[in-house]
Structure 1
């Protein structure tokens, strides 16, 4: 199948696109819906920057006559989805990270990571515009690693595991919330099951556009929760657990801060920002994919302001002595319940979103040449529901087997964000330039600006490898130390995990 794909001819408003002649790419894409059962798809890129591009027209016509249309997201829909992905519970780990790193290094790292995520997001968009048949991060993984099917399956395994761990995190925090407000009225395992079932219900819709309204509600209520936490931290007489020790904060790391502690705090910051794993799927379901650039700038600005203020203000008012993760635990009981309660929509929805993304990935690959993908068939809906159920069973088990918050964030970051936040997109930039200049080592041919980006992309790969190696070591050591000090509960424990 041959498609004409319109794309900008030049670098525009921060895009990483560049001039190129018509080029064609051939790849076996497991996730692509092809004609006559063929997976091999050929695309040509033509310089066209009209308001209605060839690609936009083809995207609209490709789904004509289908009962279920997936490419229905406007940039406003996608902004809501991305805000719901970023304005989340992990924000409440920033005060703890700043207490370990010190206020100044914490803020510097926040700005640095936000910049790298914006930069790599532009690379993702540019990569999609050049290779629009790559519909998810697993297709991109195969494409980056020389078309290897093994790379596709390895990426798929990491993709599903990452999403299921995030679901498990939300089951864990949901149980913490229910234990906190009810004073542990039932077994914690029961609370986890309740959260998993409720979240499953919200993950049922099959299109992203239908999820966007709930996504905005989730992001807004979580933003209110964070604002309330900042206000309450400032007006309460003293933090929860106050024993007379004065509240203090540090501009720089405290004396005696270990590498393991500092790395864990850094990984918590990285985890909250890194969400590029979902970008290809979001872009592929937009009516006009190039408008994703607008989404990136809006969301990054919101992230930077919210994360920096939450981390610094709560840390300053709570101090080193009474810091908890999540920081709701540092508020006195009434304030804690009020602020934590506004986070409930996020606890439910964000886990639901990642369940939906995982199920969508498997569903699209199983039924890519079938009527069940685009029609309301009994088989299609039973399969969809079954996939969602499996993801939530996995999330429930994870929440019971890995019963900790900050170390779970660090573990997910070191195992998966190293690839999906850094390594993949450094390699993607190299791939774009190899494609443009038709050379395996295009560096001598690059413009001065491209050479700077080439070096930066190499730095992204180095950061990813560092997070995977020393980062994973520090995370495992932290988990071992905390288990040895009996800081965590046991597996499938009925004891309260309230804060």
Structure 2
């Protein structure tokens, strides 16, 4: 059936009247229309059914997967796709005609489905590697445990590691909202489909802040490492500027494909530095000078405690807690990973395996280093070694890994800003166009200049990590997933039996709207929704407390006699 012939002008006029808007159209053409949740659910159920038929053969996890992904009532009857001669695309919440008016250039659903499946090639094991490589960075764990002691430190890392399983909620929503017709690719896309365009803008802005801040932290860490290699003979702000210029040069690479061959090095270099650090500190004393310059801890015997260490303040304990939050900060990219998977329902394997490996590595490294260095453990841990030769070796490896990570984060961050500001806000050109390349070339120096400002203005590695963890990472990993799941479940449970998406008219037949739907949706399984709401409030409260404590710690850090000043020449790790 041709959809264009199935819809009459009267149907269109009635539909637009119901929405309270009037759009001009030609008879026989499909107008732009708002996409409601029921339509996303409809096409997602079809895509999941097609994937199941395509992938079930030879799937050794099929039985276990069936138990884990129990269908909700809205998915029990899988709809049959109708023949649609033109595709649709999603932009600002409206369905847009994708096919040309020429019958020779129209793209059929089958062709579009094949093309969509063709670009989704990542396996769950590949995504496990990506999640692990993205999150892995346990160099802050020893310092965090030093602020909390064995008992609280280990307990909080385990608790936050388990709670970081909120990625499971993102995965559940992805399965129900992603489709070949409306692919879900980013965190902002998910926020938009649940709460609307304003939430998408907010998430995109916060994601941009997080990525930029991460680049700044990487730049700061590299500058600290280089200052140790040159023994403080070069002004620290100049070192920050050197790394910023290096980022500006590498950042001119626009495609991730050209950087991808370097990404696998990051994980192995991280593991190498961990092993080297543990081996070296077990046979040498801590670097007392670095501990004094970085943490203000005077030379003395190594002390470890089962409880909160003496002298540890509430603010330093909260900042230490934020290191655990920072450690599990990969959820911001989970949806991008899922969108590339051949079997998106297998993401739970990637998530669980990665969380177990990451938690094990973090605790092993954190406990080992704290046992040998106690209160002298610094952040990052590899820079607290007293053997100068091995200190230089570890710093060089870390700096190489750091600039690669900075280039990758910077690439993604600039692309987010380009899409959000240049394209969406100012209707700019495609990035691949000549004008787009010129704009990119100008954005890269500006982006790395901002990263330089962050690194040089606040040369306090642990405190700035704690603030970023509270402001951004905690939201994406702990606050937003249950909040989005709460909004999604309320809307799904508000759907009445007679309400559904009609693929022929491409309309959703709702019996009511507004506040009554939210009340009805909240009543169904209210105890689960109440738990999600309490989770959101607890996460938000922790974020506020973390930002407050990190801010006080930053202020106190600048007042300390040993502290490095903003845009100054004194290194924060050399006394």
Match of 1:125 in 2: 171
How many angstroms apart in 1 are the aligned matches of 2:109 and 2:522?
30
How many angstroms apart in 2 are the aligned matches of 1:13 and 1:286?
20
Match of 2:308 in 1: 253
> Is the Cα–Cα contact under 8 Å of residues 219 and 243 in structure 2 kept in the other structure?
yes
How many angstroms apart in 2 are the aligned matches of 1:38 and 1:179?
48
Change (3 A) 1:41 1:497: same
| 1:251 Cα offset (Å) | 1.0
Match of 2:228 in 1: 180
Deviates more, 1:238-247 or 1:295-304: 238-247
| 1:330 Cα offset (Å) | 2.6
Match of 2:348 in 1: 293
| 1:361 Cα offset (Å) | 1.9
Match of 1:105 in 2: 152
Match among 437, 442, 459 for residue 403 of structure 1? 459
How many angstroms apart in 1 are the aligned matches of 2:187 and 2:239?
33
Change (3 A) 1:258 1:186: closer
* Residue deviations 1:182-236 (CA, integer Å, cap 9, x gap): 2234332232222223334544555556544322210110111112111212122
Query: What secondary structure, in the 3-state scheme, does the structure 1 residue paired with 2:286 have?
Result: coil
> Is the Cα–Cα contact under 8 Å of residues 81 and 212 in structure 1 kept in the other structure?
no
Match among 416, 420, 428 for residue 476 of structure 2? 420
| 1:458 Cα offset (Å) | 3.0
| 1:122 Cα offset (Å) | 1.4
* Residue deviations 1:329-352 (CA, integer Å, cap 9, x gap): 331123322333332233112222
Match of 1:310 in 2: 365
Match of 1:45 in 2: none
Query: What secondary structure, in the 3-state scheme, does the structure 2 residue paired with 1:361 have?
Result: helix
Query: What secondary structure, in the 3-state scheme, does the structure 2 residue paired with 1:249 have?
Result: coil
| 1:309 Cα offset (Å) | 0.7
> Is the Cα–Cα contact under 8 Å of residues 221 and 342 in structure 1 kept in the other structure?
yes
Q: Give the alignment of 1:65-144 within 5 angstroms.
A: 73-88=122-137, 91-117=138-164, 119-132=165-178, 133=182, 134-144=184-194
How many angstroms apart in 1 are the aligned matches of 2:272 and 2:110?
37
Change (3 A) 1:371 1:61: farther
Match of 1:7 in 2: 48
| 1:431 Cα offset (Å) | 2.6
Deviates more, 1:328-337 or 1:164-173: 328-337
| 1:57 Cα offset (Å) | 8.0
Match of 1:47 in 2: none
* Residue deviations 1:346-389 (CA, integer Å, cap 9, x gap): 3112222221222222334545899835xx53233333333333
How many angstroms apart in 1 are the aligned matches of 2:280 and 2:70?
43
How many angstroms apart in 2 are the aligned matches of 1:55 and 1:108?
51
| 1:11 Cα offset (Å) | 7.2
How many angstroms apart in 1 are the aligned matches of 2:126 and 2:251?
17
Match among 436, 440, 448 for residue 518 of structure 2? 440
> Is the Cα–Cα contact under 8 Å of residues 411 and 475 in structure 1 kept in the other structure?
yes
How many angstroms apart in 1 are the aligned matches of 2:227 and 2:161?
34
Instruction: Report the aligned-residue RMSD.
Output: 3.4
Match of 2:382 in 1: 328
How many angstroms apart in 1 are the aligned matches of 2:319 and 2:90?
50
> Is the Cα–Cα contact under 8 Å of residues 460 and 572 in structure 2 kept in the other structure?
no
| 1:436 Cα offset (Å) | 3.1
| 1:36 Cα offset (Å) | 10
How many angstroms apart in 2 are the aligned matches of 1:153 and 1:299?
30
Change (3 A) 1:156 1:249: same
| 1:492 Cα offset (Å) | 1.7
How many angstroms apart in 2 are the aligned matches of 1:383 and 1:34?
30
Max Rg structure: 2
Change (3 A) 1:55 1:331: farther
The TM-score with structure 2 as length reference comes to 0.72
| 1:59 Cα offset (Å) | 6.1
Match of 1:394 in 2: 450
Match of 2:438 in 1: 382
> Is the Cα–Cα contact under 8 Å of residues 138 and 153 in structure 1 kept in the other structure?
yes
Match among 560, 572, 575 for residue 485 of structure 1? 560
> Is the Cα–Cα contact under 8 Å of residues 286 and 373 in structure 2 kept in the other structure?
yes
Say whether residues 1:40 and 2:130 are aligned partners.
Answer: no
Deviates more, 1:280-289 or 1:390-399: 280-289
Structure 1 gaps of 5+ residues are: 25-32, 43-53
| 1:459 Cα offset (Å) | 4.1
> Is the Cα–Cα contact under 8 Å of residues 221 and 380 in structure 2 kept in the other structure?
no
The TM-score with structure 1 as length reference comes to 0.82
Change (3 A) 1:244 1:317: same
Change (3 A) 1:35 1:94: closer
